[in-house]
Chains A and B, each alone.
Chain A
Amino acid sequence: MIPELGYGAAIVALGLALWGALAAALGARTGRPALVLSAQHAALGVFALVTACLALLMYAFLTFDFSVRYVATNTNLGTPFYYRITGVWGALEGSIILWTWMLALYTLIVILRHRESARELYPWVLTVMLGVLAFFLLVITVAAPPFARLHPVPADGHGLNPLLEDTGMITHPVALYLGFTGLTVPFAFAMAALITGRVGDAWLTMTRRWTIVAWYFLSLGLLIGGWWSYHVLGWGGYWAWDPVENAAFMPWLTATAFLHSVMIQERRRMLQLWNLALVIMTFGLTLFGTFLTRSGVIASVHAFTQGTIGAFFLGFLTLVLLTALGLLAWRWDALGAQGALDSVVSRESAFLLNNVMLVAAAFTVFFGTVFPLLSEALRGVKVSVGAPFFNQVNVPLFLGLIFLMGVGPLIAWRRASVDNLRRNFLGPVLTGVAAAAFFFALGVHSALAVLTLALTVFVAATIALDFARATRVRARMGEPLLPAMGGLLRRHNRRYGGFVVHLGVLIIAVGVTGSQAWSVQTETTLGRGESTELAGYRVRFEDLAASEESNHFKVAGAFTVSDGRVLGVLRPAKKFYPQEQSPIAYVDYRLGLREDIYLVLGDFARDGSRATVKLQVNRLVSWIWIGGLVLTAGAGLAILPETKRTA
């Protein structure tokens, strides 16, 4: 009964979404507010029904309703309560429901916030949001129905993919999807602007915070994903240029470009066409990412034809892109730039270059990700490019971006005079050069590491300079120092939020540099009581212990770690899930600001007499997570409503 209810709710929601999209469009064309109101009600109905769908699926998970195929595949009687909830979005069908629910939620908030303020754009925004919702509801009802029944009903389910039994599984997909779906809002506004011909700044001003919100969640999702990879997957890394990661990274890059180019349009009335193109590209990439990761096309071009989901997404993506490009062409004449670039040495060109580099990075990631598919489809040979390709091409781009991060916010608009350059950059450049010399003297001889660290110091110095100057101005007006700083952050929260995000990126860059340049590892087999050494640490194998958990068996080794004095006992393990053919590694680690000690249990003798262990000393990795916190805090600051200046 429950599954039928859920299925029914989805079908009704689909009908409502289609009607709402149509009604809003008709309302806009004919100028009849009743139609727009009806569309609004339809959107509320869609939200209620999709909420019901999600709740029903969750109920099916909690009550072990194995007559539902999706439940039977992703849970079993041993699955702990907590993971029965997160299991709802543990695979394709449920994650599409979560996605749709978030999209409906965003639509609701758009209605609440903009139904009065955006009279002209609003009906069309509603049309686009509901249109996208209709597509996802179509996927739920036709292509990937989460409520499909299973005959005969099994006594027990298969169980959740054990790698997903992690606290990161509640936050990671939720954050990522909030980011993905949030990007629909600026897209809807951009489409509305094109349809109504109001391609000026109104849509930008209204979507600015929406984009930062989506960007905040997308960043958070990527960071949690990195953390999950680091502490669950057991290879000691946080980023592998895996297609799934790239799928989320590409829209992040273009959204980042958009956040910057918006400022140019606001200030100089330039880049209108470019901004619209970026929004369309970003939304297209979220769809493409879902297509890429959910259609099986990554495994092989031919796998994609096996399911309908790939065809659905590819079809919708094509429709979206053709419509958007058609609208762009239609409004081409209205999109001419009003401002013009005055000089190569100006804030405009720094931002422009930043955009070019971000989009170039997105393109190379795109190229590297689809390269195997292209090669298989065109030449019939499967060729892949791995992490070396992505690193080789992206590292120069990222270094360039870090440099611009220092230049952009301080260089003058229009044309920077020699005096402006000297005033803003002489100090930071000298600091950067001094830092390079310092790190070199300290024994850092990798040119790449020295360059990255020097650039980081340079950018940090520009931020410090700007902040110190602004504080001094306020302090001179009689404000005490700390309130002056606080007031600055609050009053100019967008600008200083941006600076805090930049600081976060710098800290992450240090973490990445350190982990890439100085991490060491070894792999060895130890008998009981034997020890191995790495980078000043001694790791002694004490013994093995087995235990029975609610849904798996666990074999854990005990390893004493010391660096002269005993630091603690690490217990990396292997978890044996009955439904899986192979054990799952469970890493154990000791995190530190300077370095992490990271242990992975490999093979072991059943009598506990020996264990093979991989020992890694990963340098500065913690700074990636710290930088992530700083970055998200900065984005949070930028989201806060701007306060009107009172003085």
Chain B
Amino acid sequence: MRAKFVVGGAVIALALTYMIYAGVTQSAVYFVTPAELRASAVAGKAYRLGGMVLLGSLRWEPRTLDLHFTLGDGTAIVPVRHKGTPPDLFGEGRGAVVEGTWSADGYFRASLILAKHSEEYKAPHGASQAGYKELLRTLKGEGR
């Protein structure tokens, strides 16, 4: 009787180990910086690329949903292409993490953008207020 349970337990443990092993090897995503990606990019392999969205690099085409930008880390830059609306926390001069693959054509094809939330404490009701007021005005004035 005991032997049956030992064997059963061993089978379950082995199956679980295999499932975890297979799961990890299939879905592991390496976190790299632009410099690390440039140094050893393997086309088709899944990466999580983290860097700063360079000023002036952002191009967003609403009609085609094409989003192009460049991620940099001070030493290297990587052009990134994505299809879809930029997420709320995304913007030039801010940190972003993108998930996707390196394309043989020399750019990073992002399937997912995870914008990074900056934790810094900003003076409330500061300069940004004016921008919102103006936004509100244009929307109220011309949006009707």
Contacts and interface: CB of A to CB of B under 8 A. Distances in A.
Given A396-B19, A585-B88, A545 B143 contact: yes
B142 A364 contact: no
B26 A523 contact: no
B135 A360 contact: no
A356 interface: yes
B62 A612 contact: yes
Given A383-B29, A525-B65, A548-B136, A157 B124 contact: yes
B61 to A, nearest CB: 9
A384 B129 contact: no
B124 A576 contact: no
Which among B9, B85, B121 has the highest number of chain A CB atoms within 10 Å? B85
Given A386-B29, A392-B19, A393-B23, A360 B12 contact: yes
B20 A606 contact: no
B42 to A, nearest CB: 14
Interface in B117-144: 118, 121-122, 124-126, 128-129, 132, 135-136, 138-140, 142-144
Contact of B85 (A341, A523, A576, A582): A523
A364 B62 contact: no
Interface string A602-641: 1101111010101000000000000000000000000000
A607 B137 CA distance: 10
Contacts of A545: 139, 143
A608 B124 contact: no
A372 B16 CA distance: 20
Contacts of B125: 156, 578-579
A612 B65 contact: yes
B86 A386 contact: no
Given A581-B122, A583-B88, A385 B27 contact: yes
A330 interface: no
A381 interface: yes
Given A367-B20, A393-B19, A525-B65, A579 B143 contact: no
A555 B124 contact: no
B80 to A, nearest CB: 17
B107 interface: no
A260 B83 CA distance: 48
Given A386-B27, A608-B142, A612-B85, A158 B135 contact: no
Nearest to B5: A341
A544 B143 contact: yes
A118 interface: no
Contact of B122 (A344, A555, A579, A606): A579
Which has the most chain A C-beta neighbours within 10 Å: B84, B125, B139? B139
Contacts of B90: 582
A388 interface: yes
A544 B27 contact: no
Contacts of A603: 60, 62, 85-86
A533 interface: no
B92 to A, nearest CB: 12
Interface residues of A, number: 60
B44 interface: no
B28 interface: yes
Interface string A520-557: 00011100000000000000000111101000010100
A341 B2 CA distance: 8
Given A341-B5, A583-B88, A612-B65, A364 B27 contact: no
B135 A553 contact: yes
B39 to A, nearest CB: 13
A576 B122 contact: no
A364 B18 CA distance: 12
A523 B84 contact: yes
Given A548-B136, A585-B88, A383 B19 contact: no
Contact of A553 (B19, B48, B126, B132): B132
A191 B31 CA distance: 42
B24 interface: yes
A439 interface: no
Contact of A546 (B22, B89, B139): B139
B13 to A, nearest CB: 9
Contact of A383 (B8, B28, B118): B28
Contact of B65 (A367, A383, A524, A544): A524
B31 A543 contact: no
B1 interface: yes
Nearest to B99: A386
Interface residues of B, number: 49
Contact of A602 (B85, B136, B143): B85
A341 B124 CA distance: 66
Given A389-B23, A578-B128, A578-B132, A584 B88 contact: yes
A582 B91 contact: yes
Contacts of B8: 344
Contacts of B140: 546
A607 B12 contact: no
B62 to A, nearest CB: 4
A582 B116 CA distance: 11
Nearest to B36: A381
A396 B22 CA distance: 13
Nearest to A352: B5
A381 B30 contact: yes
B22 A385 contact: no
Nearest to A356: B12
A371 interface: yes
Interface string B59-76: 010110100000000000
A543 B140 CA distance: 11
B28 A553 contact: no
B58 to A, nearest CB: 12
Given A385-B29, A555-B139, A582-B91, A371 B24 contact: yes
B24 A389 contact: yes
A388 B135 contact: no
A388 B23 CA distance: 8
B23 to A, nearest CB: 4
A342 B1 CA distance: 7
A578 B16 CA distance: 49
Given A385-B24, A525-B65, A553-B136, A159 B89 contact: no
A578 B135 contact: no
Given A156-B125, A157-B124, A581 B118 contact: yes
B56 to A, nearest CB: 18
A76 interface: yes
6 contacts: A156-B125, A545-B139, A553-B135, A578-B126, A603-B62, A610-B62
Interface of B: 1, 4-5, 8-9, 12, 16, 19-20, 22-24, 26-31, 48, 60, 62-63, 65, 84-86, 88-91, 94, 115, 118, 121-122, 124-126, 128-129, 132, 135-136, 138-140, 142-144
Closest 7 CB pairs of A and B: A602-B85, A608-B143, A382-B31, A546-B139, A388-B27, A389-B27, A525-B62
Given A392-B19, A523-B85, A543-B144, 13 more contacts: A156-B125, A341-B1, A367-B20, A386-B29, A389-B24, A393-B19, A393-B23, A525-B62, A578-B128, A581-B94, A582-B89, A606-B139, A612-B65
